[in-house]
Amino acid sequence: MKRLLILFIFFFSYTTYSQTAEEFYDSGYEKYENKDYEGAIADFTKTIELKPNPDAYYYRGNSKDDLKDYYGAIKDFTKVIKLDPDYVKAYNNRGIAKYNLKDHYGAIKDFTKAIKLDPNNAMAYSNRGNAKTPLKDYEGALADYNKAIELDPNYAMAYANRGFLKNFLKDINGAIEDSTKAIELDPDNANIYVIRATIRGRLLDQKGALADFSKAIELDPNYAGAYFSRGYVKYFFLKDERGACEDWKIAESMGFTQGKESVAIFCN
């Protein structure tokens, strides 16, 4: 009887811990979805302490990445891969973290592995194109963007990334066409408006650039780079020095170094 009681206590404890781990996971996921990344990390850490699993490490890695803790994110994604070597998203997101740390060769290796595991993964192709661009493998990057679009003709960021590359390669009309297509597919993406604004600036369409930077700010009021770039257009092309300084001061207040430098040089 005593032995049976001990076994029952062990079974009950194990069940309780299992449920608690799931509750922490669900709570962490909800916080992650609501962009409470620090809260999510705390809950996923509890999940891992009670019942380690690849998904908990994966979303904790995503949360760390969103907080720009790229080294911590890489550590978690690597743990995911050790637990599940076929976890495609972990390779992709580890590649993104490496890209953000300017480890472009490491990023390409991870994106390539993701593609090997899932040959129809348009995101991995587009991300690999992004990693090839700084290495001046423009032909390879363009091929990856084309493949991403072939796999998913509605993938807005693939068009935007290809447009950015075409802009660099001085195919300005192609760049405008791609970035405009990206906006049609994803009209609420502030990053795409910034890309098209940059391209319009090269075409000397400064009013168009101003409109796109303003739209990006409307969509994301905390987009410091958009404030800085809009200030640049106002100051140097539209002769709106007051408006430029207002934008640069906002960028400075967000910790954007170039905004602070511009205020010091042009706004005193």
Each residue's pLDDT tens digit, 35-77: 999 999 999 999 999 999 999 999 999 999 999 999 999 999 9
Domain boundaries of the chain, sorted by first residue: 16-85, 92-153
Res 268: pLDDT: 82
Candidates 1.25.40.10, 3.30.565.10, 1.10.10.10, 1.10.645.10; CATH matching 16-85: 1.25.40.10
Res 103: pLDDT: 98
Res 13: pLDDT: 42
pTM: 0.86
Provide the 10 A C-beta neighbour count for residue 72. 17
Asked if residues 244 and 258 have their Cβ atoms less than 8 Å apart, the reply is: no
Convert the pLDDT of each residue in 161-208 to its tens digit. Answer: 999 999 999 999 999 999 999 999 999 999 999 999 999 998 899 999
Closest to 124 in 3D by CA, of 138, 103, 99, 134: 99
Residue 176 to residues 4, 123, 151, 186, 203, Cα–Cα distance (Å): 74, 21, 22, 15, 10
Give me the mean pLDDT over the 130-137 stretch: 98
Res 8: pLDDT: 37
**Is 149 a residue whose pLDDT tops 90?**
yes
C-alpha–C-alpha distance, residues 182 and 177, integer Å:
9
Res 2: pLDDT: 42
Give me the mean pLDDT over the 89-94 stretch: 98
Asked if residues 31 and 45 have their Cβ atoms less than 8 Å apart, the reply is: no
Domain 16-85 identical in fold to domain 92-153: yes
Average pLDDT, the chain: 93
Give me the mean pLDDT over the 96-107 stretch: 98
C-alpha–C-alpha distance, residues 238 and 200, integer Å:
14
Structure tokens at 14: 């194990």
User: Where are the alpha helices (H) located in the chain, listed in sequence order?
Assistant: 2-33, 37-50, 54-66, 70-83, 88-100, 104-117, 122-132, 138-151, 156-168, 172-185, 190-202, 206-219, 224-236, 241-253, 257-266
Residues in contact with 133: Cβ distance below 8 Å, sequence separation at least 6, in sequence order? 141, 165, 168
Residues in contact with 216: Cβ distance below 8 Å, sequence separation at least 6, in sequence order? 190, 191, 193, 194, 197, 223, 226
Res 262: pLDDT: 97
Convert the pLDDT of each residue in 205-255 to its tens digit. Answer: 999 999 999 999 999 999 999 999 999 999 999 999 999 999 999 999 999
pLDDT band (50, 70, 90) for residue 19: low
**Is 17 a residue whose pLDDT tops 60?**
no
Residue type, 3: R
Closest to 50 in 3D by CA, of 8, 11, 90, 14: 14
Give me the mean pLDDT over the 102-111 stretch: 98
Res 246: pLDDT: 98
**Is 15 a residue whose pLDDT tops 80?**
no
Residue 109 to residues 102, 103, 241, Cα–Cα distance (Å): 13, 10, 46
Q: 92-153 maps to which CATH number?
A: 1.25.40.10
Task: Put residue 255 in one of left, alpha, beta given phi > 0 → left and psi -120 to 50 → alpha.
Answer: left
**Is 4 a residue whose pLDDT tops 50?**
no
Backbone angles phi, psi at 76, to 5 degrees: -70, -40
